[in-house]
Structure 1
Amino acid sequence: MSADDGRAVQRPRFVLASASPARLKTLRNAGVEPEVIVSGVDEDNVTADSPGELARLLASLKARAVVATLDDHATVLGCDSVLEIDGVAYGKPGTPEVARERLRMMRGRSGVLHTGHCLFDTNTKHELRELASTTVHFADLTDDEIDAYVATGEPLVVAGSFTVDGFGGPFVTGIEGDYHNVVGISLPLVRRMLAEVGIGWPSLWQPAHFAYDEAEAAGYDESRGGVQRARAAAEAVHGLLDPGLSRVVEIAVGTGIVSAELVALGNLMHGVDLSAAMLRHARHRLPGHVAAADAARLPFADRRCDAVVAVWLLHLLDDSEPVLAEVARVLRPGGTFVTTTEKSDAARYADGRSPKERRSEDALALLVARAAQHGLTLDGATTFEGPPRGGGAAPVYPLVRFRRTRP
């Protein structure tokens, strides 16, 4: 789908099939917030002809195991690392005794860190298997240094019993090749693999203007009325949803506080958001049902959703048109879009805020006109109250429902 055909370019659903915190952190530092699904592959019972092939095989098994669990299109990346010294593959040691023995064997020597990468794109049905290898030179550690390092617990849970980005960094005297590959994922290699399936690396970046840091995300709920307002919103949304829906998606799910209340009312909820910090909270409330995605580039196939919900989102946008187009794309015929809309300027003034100087992207008249262009027809409305602020009256929020009438 091209950018000049009148519709937004869909952001790929990118899944990391790995439990490694280092891989996730590396991707986040590069501007990518993947959806993490752990494969559950038993690495101990897998063998191969060489250490490099072992890493590649394990990466493939991880990716395939996660692909088998998906019910929507996604691009899944599996990774696994092993350290090769003298032709022998070393994975995670598991125990302090094994880690201590390995580090004594490695000190003053060099090894090759192999990271297998398997990219499976369910849209194109392409599976790419690649290997990145980096030579690592180790310091001549003393026994005391080895004992202290093992005591941190870090070498027990990483391939080769060392890290380059943690406590083990001072014990690596040099590398030859890709630094990120030693951490567990080769970013240049992943970029090339994505390009082979038609995905540009920048398409995975998360826009910064909706970013929240951890402190902001932690305090967000209470600063916005907490559970009381979320429950009121959820009850109002629930009243506009058709009964018995199998897939309801909240866009800009935030911390998941509203969706969690909708789950309590019997709805099966899925959530997407751009903010990594917000999603970390949402995953606790909706485990396994949240993903990093732009509301204008949803990770769902056409006509796969029963309902889409947007609570306090549209007024934040510079242009609500791409979101409405995307909502219409993913809704099945007869599906519904439930969203909050702009309070009147009079209500804003009564709340002690100035009237808006420009047309709001959640103004009802604007939404009705734009929604109609995409086969969405207004067919329901309600209101709900938030908790009183500053001793004043409780704010009232309008909520409307659009139904997808176009086949």
Structure 2
Amino acid sequence: MSVRLVLASASPARLQTLRSAGVEPEVIVSGVDEDNITAESPGELARLLATLKARAVVANLTDHGTVLGCDSVLEFDGVAYGKPGTPDVARERLRAMRGRTGVLHTGHCLIDTNAKQELRELESTKVFFADLTDAEIDAYVATGEPLVVAGSFTVDGLGGPFVTGVEGDYHNVVGLSLPLLRRMLAQVDIAWPELWKTTSTYTYDEDVAYSYDDTRGGLPRAQAAAAAVDSLLPKGGRVLELAVGTGIVGAELVALGNLVHGVDLSPAMLQHARLRLPGHVLAADAATLPVADRRCDAVVAIWLLHLLDDSEPVIAEVARVLRTDGVFITTTEKTDASRYADGRVPTDARSQDALSHLVATAARHGLVLDGATTFPGPTRNTGQTPLYTLTRFRRT
């Protein structure tokens, strides 16, 4: 019988850790609110949060599975540091931590519904921080990365050069201890190699993904799109890009100072996106996002909605994950841009990215039209250059 491993976490780093080890889990986000939960120690807090996440996902399963919940907390001077949330808090923490040592606790809770067992474990790893300058701290905080990770740092991302060493399991600092997970699985009679057999087999043509960028305007088009998106984005927030594709636009948004996570359905596309956005992309359907309610400051969809038969499920998900005053930025009227560039006459049939359709659909989900801009695409064989429209909706 195949193993159904469910990861009860939205963390791209945890998902990537499992994938790098040959495991393709199913991702279901728990939606547990971490802010109002306390425990007697930082380690116990990490274990409690992991348990609550796993139990919340199990409660909504419609079939048996093995659910893994994880949560990380940095202990520094006896205090539990989760996600800082604001630049000022992140800056203050990094200044306190520089040149010193903390302990990264990751709680693990494994619930196997077939065996009817719940296992709760904690892995702790010492982390040694570099003696950062104020300028380095300010630059790091400006990237947005430390705002959304436990302890205000990463070891597998932009913060890697600021960690001089670890004592213990490196993967635990990323967010999930593979050796501990292997031992926990053995207690419910699941051998680690069995998980390799459950890795999904994909059939998407890799050749299409390999040539995708070059056949669609390449870097110049991506840079033009990213600059236009950036002009409409709030600064310093978490950006989720739907249909991230090869990550070419997302990487340009990062270069402009944004913290970007991406989702896509195509594993072949994601192979390329992981090189451009390491640890920040995962496989997911834009209509069923593995993100808790009200967690994103911005959602971006470039050349997606015109491909859909029905854009409303995606817009409903966007509204669900956006914070109040968060923004949804999407290309609109792409079909018409292509028609005009090809010298064709618009038909009466309207695409799912038609602005009139989107305004009405967005309004049903608490999104209001809030701004727009344009950017040029690559010049076509006809000598005409399509002008793409970006439209911004704000969550009320």
Please state how far the C-alpha of 1:394 moved relative to its aligned partner: 1.6
Q: How does 1:4-403 map to 2 (within 5 A)?
A: 15=15, 18=18, 23-24=22-23, 119-121=67-69, 127-128=110-111, 183-185=193-195, 212-245=204-237, 247-343=238-334, 345=336, 348-353=339-344, 355-356=346-347, 358-390=349-381, 392-403=383-394
2:233/2:327 contact within 8 Å kept: yes
Please state how far the C-alpha of 1:212 moved relative to its aligned partner: 3.5
Between the aligned partners of 1:230 and 1:265, the Cα distance in structure 2 is 12
1:331/1:404 contact within 8 Å kept: yes
Query: Root-mean-square deviation (CA), in Å?
Result: 4.1
Q: Which secondary structure does the structure 2 equivalent of 1:332 belong to? A: strand
Q: Which secondary structure does the structure 1 equivalent of 2:229 belong to? A: helix
Please state how far the C-alpha of 1:122 moved relative to its aligned partner: 6.2
Letter in 2 for 1:268: L
CA distance 1:392–1:232, shift in 2 (3 Å): same
Which segment drifts farther, 392-401 or 308-317?
Answer: 392-401
Q: Which secondary structure does the structure 1 equivalent of 2:319 belong to? A: helix
Please state how far the C-alpha of 1:389 moved relative to its aligned partner: 1.5
Please state how far the C-alpha of 1:393 moved relative to its aligned partner: 2.1
CA distance 1:391–1:68, shift in 2 (3 Å): farther
1:248/1:305 contact within 8 Å kept: yes
Please state how far the C-alpha of 1:18 moved relative to its aligned partner: 3.6
Letter in 2 for 1:241: L
Which segment drifts farther, 349-358 or 384-393?
Answer: 349-358
Runs (5+) with no aligned partner, structure 1: 1-10, 36-65, 76-116, 133-179, 191-203
CA distance 1:343–1:130, shift in 2 (3 Å): closer
Deviations along 1:313-363, one digit per CA (max 9) or x if unpaired, are 000000000000000000000000000001474861442456456321000
1:34/1:291 contact within 8 Å kept: no
CA distance 1:186–1:318, shift in 2 (3 Å): same
Between the aligned partners of 2:192 and 2:220, the Cα distance in structure 1 is 47
Letter in 2 for 1:230: A
CA distance 1:394–1:376, shift in 2 (3 Å): same
2:296/2:326 contact within 8 Å kept: yes
Please state how far the C-alpha of 1:185 moved relative to its aligned partner: 2.1
1:343/1:397 contact within 8 Å kept: yes
Between the aligned partners of 2:340 and 2:390, the Cα distance in structure 1 is 20
Between the aligned partners of 2:18 and 2:68, the Cα distance in structure 1 is 14
Q: Which secondary structure does the structure 2 equivalent of 1:383 belong to? A: strand
Please state how far the C-alpha of 1:395 moved relative to its aligned partner: 1.2
Runs (5+) with no aligned partner, structure 2: 1-7, 29-45, 56-64, 72-107, 116-189
Question: Which residue does 2:137 correspond to in 1?
Answer: none
Larger radius of gyration: 1
TM-score by length of 1: 0.53
1:345/1:356 contact within 8 Å kept: no
Letter in 2 for 1:120: L
Q: Which secondary structure does the structure 1 equivalent of 2:195 belong to? A: coil
Between the aligned partners of 1:335 and 1:220, the Cα distance in structure 2 is 30
Q: Which secondary structure does the structure 2 equivalent of 1:381 belong to? A: strand
1:33/1:292 contact within 8 Å kept: no
Letter in 1 for 2:204: Y
Q: Which secondary structure does the structure 2 equivalent of 1:184 belong to? A: helix
Q: Which secondary structure does the structure 1 equivalent of 2:213 belong to? A: helix
Deviations along 1:114-156, one digit per CA (max 9) or x if unpaired, are xxx9631469x96225999xxxxxxxxxxxxxxxxxxxxxxxx
